[in-house]
Each structure stands twice: as structure tokens, then as C-alpha cells.
Amino acid sequence: MYTTPVGRRRARTNELLGGEFRPAVEVPTAPFPPASHTMYDEQRLKEGLFYADQTLRNATQRASPLVSHCMTMYKTCLKAALENDGKDEQERQDLLETIHVFLEEIRGNREFRLPCDKVNTAVVDRLAMLRRYGLAIRYRLWTDMVYDGLHISKEESDPAWFERLPRWTQYWDQTRYFIAREASTWRGYLSSPPENVEEKEIQTTLAIYRACNYMGLNFDDTMNTIDEHGDPKSIFYMSAWDMLEDVKWSELRETMYKDLGDLPAVMPAHMHAVIPALQHTIASVADKYADMLDLAAIKREHIKCGYDLWNLDKNCCKAEWREKIKAIKRTGAYKESVEAEAREVEREAVARVTNMAQGHLFEPKRHGKALKVLANLIHQSGSKRCDIRKAIAEGKGQAPVDPAIYLDYYPIVMDTGGLDGFLEV
């Protein structure tokens, strides 16, 4: 296990690369992995660092949030190796082996590199923003408090932030219009054998499909989200508390499950700190309202999230819950009661993140496991992703990345319990 202390800032990339650093961004080529992790020397590590740095700084062909996240982990491990982290040779070999796994995945899978010309990066950005808009609507009751407690910017935790963006509503109105116009042609394109369809006839739908494949998002879910965005009465606009109150518990359970899995796919590099905070917020909500959400139905031993999210055994009758809500409303102190319950979730979520930071050590194998999770998200993207309802029922599915890895980019400020600013990794 590594002994890098919490809060340590790594050397800047230009310092480690020296004369090989290039301020101007090029379209990089991934280096070829050697036959074994034991063959990595300083030059090979620098080649990898150059590639990761150029990929992350490329503003023309921007990496998706998921690819950016993987590259950040790869870059962090390379810096650790160049700075000779680790107290013995075994630890160094563990680190080099993790770097080797990253490079083999990058070389072997086009999705882990910069998007090809057919992927519209503007669509990638917009889809990620739409997903984050939904997260803001769902969890704002709790995230405002949690982010304050952890000293994280809560700008994007407010749905109004998205709604104030130029042409936000018009963009999605136009997107829905073109999707509807292309619907029958798109079905022909997907038929077997496919009909002879020109790409310009399905331009919008195809762009979304390719963006979902590149991002690691489920295409069908994304199309449903775009459609629901146009209906103010849809479940898209319901907060998690609204779903609890209206006894839409199965819908909320499914939504939370999807949210946990998609967080790395929609959070850009400058928002890495939000991921562990939001993961633990969702976990705290799940724990507090486990009896209603029936999370015990999820096979506990098969999903490990870095916290015991599913180990829940309570029972609650929907009629009893409705009576509880009615009783609170009769007292005239409904708002105060909701805020008090939200405070309980906030205290639990902040405690989870800060406790996670206590004694945190940099572990390269944790990054290797995270890579496998993220790679699986990409490989099962588009319409190929497993049915989420079946996954929940069978106790299977994709667990989110261990939140502890994010502390390697955002060290906890131990005197305040807050998350430090974004590190140049």
C-alpha cells in the first residue's frame, strides 16, 4: 500500500517532462505498451505522460467525461511512478502493472482515445449537461447542504444554472423536433436487413447514438430523457423527495441506480470532486429511506460501492408513509420537517466523505479496478447496455467507481473537512 499523504500536490507535468513538454496541443498517438510491466523505464513513463497530457488538453477533439476521467487516473499513476512513490519494490511493481493495464486498454479500444470525426463533441457536451441538469433537479434538496459542508462549488447543483444558459430550452426543443422527424427513417436504419438510408436523413438521431456510444451512456435512456425534458409534468422534473412523497419508490430506486452508474460519464474533469460527494449523498438518501425503496431486494453481496449501500433490512408500509406525510402537513411545519430530514442526510454524507479521507493512501490497484468499471460502461454503452430493471432484480449491474480514488485528485483539507481545489494532475 502506498504512503502518499492526503493533501500532497504532485509535481506539474511540465516539470516532469522537462524539455519534452509541449505547450501547444497536438493530436497525440498512444505509445505502444511493452511486453511486460517490468520493461517500463523513465522514457516510457514520460511518453505515456506526454500522451495523457496532450489528450486531456486537446480543446479541438475533446475527450468525453468518461475518457477524460480514465486519462486523469492514468496520468496520476504515471506521475506517481516518475516521482518514485512507494516504500518498496513490490509497491513500485504494482504501480507499473497498473500503468501497463491502462496503456493496453487505451491501445486496444478506440473509445478510450480522442473521438473520431464522426463523433460530434458538441453533442457529447450537451448530453452530459442534460444528464447533470436531471441530477440537479433530483438531489438539490440535499446537495446544497452537502456541498456547503464540503466546500464544493454548488453552481451546477441549481437547475436554474442550466436554464439560464443561452438557448438551453430552444436547443432541446429543436432536438426533439428533428428526432420526431427522423423517427421512421431511423427505424428503417436499425432494421434487419437495414434499409438504404443516407446519414443526412437521420443526422440528429445518429449524432446522439454515436455520442452515447462514445460517452458510455445508454442510448434508449438518453432518448427518453430528451423526450421527458419537453414535458414539465414528466418524472424528469420530479425531485427525489417528490418521488418519495408520491410513493414512486420503484421509479426512484431505478433512477438512483442509473445515476450512480452514470456519474463518471457525465462529470467533466473540473467537476471530479462532485462525484464522491454526490455518490455519498445518494448512498445516504438510500440508507435513510431504505425501507421504502426496498433496496434489500438488491442482492447485497454482489454490489460493492466502497460503502454498504445495499445492506438494508427494514420494512415500511406505503399506507403508513402516506399517513406520516399527512400528519406532518397537518402540523403546519411540513417545510421545517423536510429540512430537518434533509439535514440528517447531509450530516451522514459529509461524514462519509471526510471519514473516507482519514488515513487515505494512494493505491494503484484501486485505479486498475476503477478502469475496469469505466471500460465496462463504455463497452456496454449505446443500446447494448443491460436492462436496468433486470439487473436490479437479479442483484447484478454496474457498481459505481470506488469514491476513494477521487481523493488522489482532490485531497481533503483536513482542518475544514472540505475538498481542495482542482489539482493539476
Q: Model confidence over 366-408: pLDDT tens digits? A: 877 777 777 776 665 544 444 444 443 444 433 456 777 777 7
35 CB neighbour count, 10 Å cutoff: 7
Residue with cell 504512503: 3
Work out how many domains the chain is built from and give that number: 1
Q: Tell me if 116 is assigned to some domain.
A: no
Q: Tell me if 425 is assigned to some domain.
A: no
Q: Tell me if 22 is assigned to some domain.
A: no
Q: Tell me if 153 is assigned to some domain.
A: yes
Q: Tell me if 310 is assigned to some domain.
A: yes
Q: Tell me if 24 is assigned to some domain.
A: no
Residue 382's φ and ψ, nearest 5 degrees, are 65, -145
Q: pTM of this prediction?
A: 0.81
**In terms of residue numbers, what domain contains 234?**
121-419
What pLDDT shows up at residue 65?
85
Which is nearest to 403 in space by CA: 376, 359, 370? 370
**Residues of the chain predicted below pLDDT 50:** 1-7, 295-315, 382-399, 411-425
pLDDT digits (tens, 9 = 90+) for 290-313: 665 554 443 333 333 333 333 333
CB 377 within 8 Å of CB 386: no
Q: Tell me if 182 is assigned to some domain.
A: yes
Quote the DSSP letter at residue 218. B
Burial class (CB in 10 A: 0-12, 13-18, 19+), 18: exposed
Residue 23's φ and ψ, nearest 5 degrees, are -60, -40
What pLDDT shows up at residue 283?
81
The grid cell for 170 is: 430552444
Q: Tell me if 414 is assigned to some domain.
A: yes
pLDDT digits (tens, 9 = 90+) for 102-159: 898 888 777 676 666 677 888 999 999 999 999 999 999 999 888 888 878 888 889 9
What pLDDT shows up at residue 115?
63
Which is nearest to 7 in space by CA: 286, 373, 392, 359? 359
